[in-house]
Structure 1
Amino acid sequence: MRAKAAHAFGRRASGSTGALAAPGPYGGHGRFSDKARWYLPLALTVDVLGITFPVAAIFHATDQPHPLVCAAVAALAWVGVQAVRRRYAADVLGEHRGAGAVLRDWLMLLGVLAVLRTAFDQVAEPSYALAGLTAGPVLTAACRMLTHHHLIAARREAHAVRRVLVIGEPSSADHVVGHLAARTEHAYVVVGVVPVGNAKLECGAPVTARLGAVAPSGLAEDAGIVLGAARDHGAELVLVAPGPRLSAERLRRLSWSLHDAGLPLAVLPGLIDVAVRRVQLDAPAGLAMLHIAPPSRRGVQPVLKSALDRVGAGLGLLLLSPVFGLVAAAVRLTSQGPAFHRQIRYGQGCVPFTMWKFRTMVVDAEQRKPDLHGSNENDGLMFKMRRDPRVTRVGRLLRRLSLDELPQLVNVLRGEMSMVGPRPPLPDEVARYNEVEVRRLAVKPGITGLWQVSGRSELSWDETLAIDLRYVDNWSLSGDADVMARTLRAVVDGRGAY
């Protein structure tokens, strides 16, 4: 694990030296100042035109009163709603691509316009107004997705990031540095570590100073060491991983000095892969406390997810029936055996079910699998081969385009699977699961999911497990919609599909 952390830090930090050059006293490149300058003008242009043109065109075509004035008011209200909700703030632009926030803003816009319509006694037909306002949120969501993808690409080159100095005991610092360095979609780049105590640091991050294992009697000693290290590395943020040697009182005194010097401080609570929407801050009796909401298992969202799954599966089966016929004929005509392949998989709550796929392998593939175990290219419980000899020629094409998964719409319609979720495992895989791995089955498996859009078979087992657990704990309808949109790109790209 520590070797992986050191490798990840080197990979993440290696691209940051040039992009983060010439810092000021505590870093001259703010977390947001390095973002592309076109984010805000593009967002404002899309938001204004996405409302103005459709409303004006529909009002003019249907002879509604004051089409240009109504279009201008609607556009101004749309921009105003998003400005009030800080969608144009520098720390927000490009950070999110989910459709949920856009939908909530749009519903607020409808409320604002309803109040204005009543206050000014407008007689415009509401249905025409609603039709004119529909394009706005769609274009806004598309714009945010574009800027988000651009920002993620920029951060892979260490642009638009925030320079971080980590403080903590070496084992905790290693964990923090490795976790931040292994993923590049966030805004933080570790530029140095101030370990607490004399233990060896394994992550490979620069160390210019250390804090003593015992808290000093005065304020100046810890503060001088940390501020000096922050100045040397051009750090813009001090990130603390608390431990036994970094007590609450010691941390409190250090925070006073850092804040007096104008250097912000962040403290890690020790949790990983918890969505921000599940976190609520409280301070009873002056103690900082994080409330972590449980994952969504009951209530409106799971019921709505199930309903959308079944409706979507039904429509998909109906609309794709010609594709089913063509694929089935291609499978039957090019290899011996049935068009469909049935396989026992495990679903939510470790309940087995029969999963349907188009057959992509020879009919005796299961019998030949034991002979190929030595060629397994996956480092965990899954069996994957880039050039599996059991896959037919048509099967390779079906896997490349993910068409072999289409019959699973039947499983979704029956309630055994979802449109989005973890990959459904095989019985022999589940038999070897530990108590952490079995948590993948706390939700319904999906036809697509974070695994499919994050590299599929190219991911290691640990990466696959981490992605699935992140989904299990943090899923939401807006997140599912985002995965569905990314699935199309993954299918076209075909990376990891074999």
Structure 2
Amino acid sequence: MPEAALPRADVSHRSIQVVESKPADAVEWRRRHARALLVGDLIVLGVALGTAQVVRFGSATAPQVDGLGATYPALGLVLAAVWWASLQVHQSRSPLVVGHGPEEYRRVIVATFRVFAVMAMVSLALQIEASRIYLATAFPLGLAGLLLERKLARVGLHRARTHGAASTKVLVVGGPRSATQLAHWFSKHPTAGYAVGGVWIPDAQAPVARLDGSAAHIPVMSASLDFTEALTVSGAGAVVVTDTEHLGHESLRDLMWQLEGTGVELMISPNVLDVSSARLHLNDVSGMPMLHLREPQYAGADRFMKRAFDFLGAAALLVLLAPVLLVTALAIKLDSAGPVFYRQERIGRHRAPFRMTKFRSMAVDAEQRLDGLRTLNESDAVLFKMRHDPRVTRVGRFIRRYSIDELPQLLDVLRGEMSLVGPRPSLASEVEQYSSQMGRRMYVRPGMTGLWQVSGRSDLSFDEAERLDLAYVDNWSITGDLMIILRTARAVTRGQGAY
């Protein structure tokens, strides 16, 4: 239907109600978090620069900086102020990035490196010769401290959001289907800080209703209520437009004007899930903004950089973890009869079979006993999972909890059959049941770890694990691999979801 045929939604007048509908709790939390970051950044920088001075000069009075005519404490104050300002200029404390994904950390890193670059250029131009030991201590220590501080602040913010203390209610403008999907997404990700409080369908005349399913408590309002009334009913401090067809261009513009100066957030959802922001680009096409979605880059996972990253990383880990491997092998041999390693056929890249290597964590007759345990399966689909599997040995329980049984797969990585990061290695019986969409996960090598590993391990359902694998394939990047490896270390040490 052309836009001219759609009734224009009434999004005019009574803006005072919009201001009153904004939840004070979420706003106050946001302000407090921003203040904490401002103060925390300054404290971290002061400690880092002070420590650098002690490392270089000890407790003695620091001399003047050659070519500057000022002491090192004065240089430290200037550096702290410039560094702190750079974090602000790069908007590393913006509510749009704080608490969401890696962008906050990326901005902190960029701001730090640019301060270091400016410092180097100014020193060269003015022939200032600051101590290399001082600078080599201050910048790495400051960056590490800032990243740790941001991580701790994020943990506190996520904990508060999980308990609803720092969340913002959202009024969804669009159809009930997209609103239901958004409500389910926010309920599964409470750390995002949003919860759907109401739905407004501006081109419908039906009376107030409710969403279906688990979101049945959320009211669905039509054009019988104007926009400000719907905002008041929902108690929302943010508006998400999920379907612009329900508004049309002119009414969307009116809605933006109506919210101007109220402090209420306005977001437009592109209705795409499991797509990384790196693949989304906003382009101006003859004055009309268009969201451009780039093709997946999974072909890059076969290139030299990925393979070199896997080979060098696996080789280094084998050397570092050699004592752990030897002790584990000895413990398995002493604990139960049978071989140290367990090899099982899995399906790799381009559906090529290979034999995956693990430390044996079960009794040698585990396969023969499987049929008698199928009725106790705690998983869905084709996977067999059992929290207290009687076939698992004493040593096996320990090495499974901390994923030590997976370490021999480093040999498979060296052989090029697996990757450090990738989709979960599939059984042939699983691959036979894959749809054409699921077959996309076979475009890359299976991984020792992946999104499935850092998002719940064995606690995930089969469908959820497969969804994460597809998201990894579609959004692959070497930076993403590094982030998953860092998250894996935390998931393994916590030992949750492994059995």
Settle same-fold status: TM greater than 0.5.
yes
- 1:278-357 to 2 correspondences below 5 Å: 278-297=279-298, 303-357=304-358
What is residue 141 of structure 1 aligned with on the other side? 147
Kept in 1: contact 2:91–2:107 (CA 8 A): no
User: Partner amino acid for 1:41?
Assistant: V
What is residue 188 of structure 2 aligned with on the other side? 182
1:264–1:152 distance in 2 versus 1, CA, 3 Å: closer
C-alpha distance in 1, partners of 2:271/2:99?
A: 27
- 1:122-271 to 2 correspondences below 5 Å: 122-124=128-130, 126=132, 129-195=135-201, 197=204, 198=206, 201-202=211-212, 203-207=215-219, 209-211=221-223, 225-242=226-243, 245-259=246-260, 263-271=264-272
What is residue 28 of structure 2 aligned with on the other side? 33
Give the Å deviation of 1:349.
3.2
C-alpha distance in 2, partners of 1:100/1:396?
A: 38
C-alpha distance in 2, partners of 1:90/1:173?
A: 23
What is residue 78 of structure 1 aligned with on the other side? 83
1:307–1:132 distance in 2 versus 1, CA, 3 Å: farther
C-alpha distance in 1, partners of 2:219/2:451?
A: 36
C-alpha distance in 1, partners of 2:387/2:474?
A: 31
C-alpha distance in 2, partners of 1:340/1:39?
A: 49
User: Partner amino acid for 1:207?
Assistant: P
- Give the 3-state SS of the residue equivalent to 1:185 in structure 2: helix
C-alpha distance in 1, partners of 2:301/2:121?
A: 28
1:183–1:132 distance in 2 versus 1, CA, 3 Å: closer
- Give the 3-state SS of the residue equivalent to 1:467 in structure 2: helix
- Give the 3-state SS of the residue equivalent to 2:222 in structure 1: coil
Give the Å deviation of 1:58.
4.3
What is residue 67 of structure 1 aligned with on the other side? 72
Kept in 1: contact 2:283–2:290 (CA 8 A): yes
Kept in 2: contact 1:29–1:162 (CA 8 A): no
- Name the Cα RMSD after superposition: 3.0
- Give the 3-state SS of the residue equivalent to 1:438 in structure 2: helix
C-alpha distance in 2, partners of 1:241/1:94?
A: 23
C-alpha distance in 2, partners of 1:418/1:304?
A: 12
What is residue 424 of structure 1 aligned with on the other side? 425
What is residue 443 of structure 1 aligned with on the other side? 444
User: Partner amino acid for 1:443?
Assistant: V
What is residue 485 of structure 1 aligned with on the other side? 486
- Give the 3-state SS of the residue equivalent to 1:163 in structure 2: strand
1:136–1:364 distance in 2 versus 1, CA, 3 Å: same
- The one of 88, 92, 98 equivalent to 1:87 is 92
- Cα deviations across residues 402-450 of structure 1 (Å, max 9, x unaligned)? 1101111112222322223322111111111112222333333222222
What is residue 53 of structure 1 aligned with on the other side? 50
What is residue 215 of structure 1 aligned with on the other side? none
- Give the 3-state SS of the residue equivalent to 2:325 in structure 1: helix
C-alpha distance in 2, partners of 1:361/1:300?
A: 33
Relative to structure 2, which stretch is displaced further, 92-101 or 328-337?
92-101
What TM-score results when the alignment is normalised by the length of structure 2?
A: 0.84
Kept in 2: contact 1:165–1:238 (CA 8 A): yes
C-alpha distance in 2, partners of 1:353/1:109?
A: 49
C-alpha distance in 1, partners of 2:298/2:473?
A: 10
C-alpha distance in 1, partners of 2:56/2:132?
A: 11
C-alpha distance in 2, partners of 1:371/1:134?
A: 57
- Cα deviations across residues 21-56 of structure 1 (Å, max 9, x unaligned)? x99513143755314443332232113322x12432
Give the Å deviation of 1:91.
4.3
C-alpha distance in 2, partners of 1:74/1:129?
A: 10
2:405 is the counterpart of 1:407: no
- 1:342-381 to 2 correspondences below 5 Å: 342-381=343-382
- Give the 3-state SS of the residue equivalent to 1:289 in structure 2: strand
Relative to structure 2, which stretch is displaced further, 35-44 or 333-342?
35-44
Kept in 1: contact 2:423–2:446 (CA 8 A): yes
Kept in 2: contact 1:23–1:234 (CA 8 A): no
Kept in 1: contact 2:210–2:219 (CA 8 A): no
C-alpha distance in 2, partners of 1:97/1:244?
A: 32
- Give the 3-state SS of the residue equivalent to 1:33 in structure 2: helix
C-alpha distance in 2, partners of 1:189/1:463?
A: 22
User: Partner amino acid for 2:37?
Assistant: Y
What is residue 11 of structure 1 aligned with on the other side? none
Give the Å deviation of 1:127.
6.5
- Cα deviations across residues 43-84 of structure 1 (Å, max 9, x unaligned)? 32113322x124323443698744334433333332232121
Give the Å deviation of 1:453.
2.3
Give the Å deviation of 1:233.
2.6
- Give the 3-state SS of the residue equivalent to 1:165 in structure 2: strand
Kept in 2: contact 1:39–1:93 (CA 8 A): no
2:122 is the counterpart of 1:116: yes
Kept in 1: contact 2:53–2:134 (CA 8 A): no
Give the Å deviation of 1:339.
0.1
1:106–1:248 distance in 2 versus 1, CA, 3 Å: same
**Structure 1: gaps (5+ residues):** 1-21, 213-223
Give the Å deviation of 1:483.
2.9
Give the Å deviation of 1:92.
3.9
Kept in 2: contact 1:282–1:289 (CA 8 A): yes
1:363–1:262 distance in 2 versus 1, CA, 3 Å: closer
C-alpha distance in 1, partners of 2:429/2:377?
A: 15
- Give the 3-state SS of the residue equivalent to 1:291 in structure 2: strand
Kept in 2: contact 1:95–1:151 (CA 8 A): no
C-alpha distance in 2, partners of 1:291/1:100?
A: 22
Give the Å deviation of 1:237.
1.9
- Cα deviations across residues 203-237 of structure 1 (Å, max 9, x unaligned)? 3143263137xxxxxxxxxxx61211102332122
Give the Å deviation of 1:200.
6.8
Kept in 2: contact 1:170–1:200 (CA 8 A): no
What is residue 42 of structure 1 aligned with on the other side? 40
- Cα deviations across residues 100-139 of structure 1 (Å, max 9, x unaligned)? 4443333222211111112321123546633442212111
1:180–1:93 distance in 2 versus 1, CA, 3 Å: closer
C-alpha distance in 1, partners of 2:303/2:192?
A: 29
1:132–1:240 distance in 2 versus 1, CA, 3 Å: closer
- Cα deviations across residues 277-310 of structure 1 (Å, max 9, x unaligned)? 3221123133331012333435699644433332
Relative to structure 2, which stretch is displaced further, 281-290 or 140-149?
281-290
Relative to structure 2, which stretch is displaced further, 170-179 or 401-410?
170-179
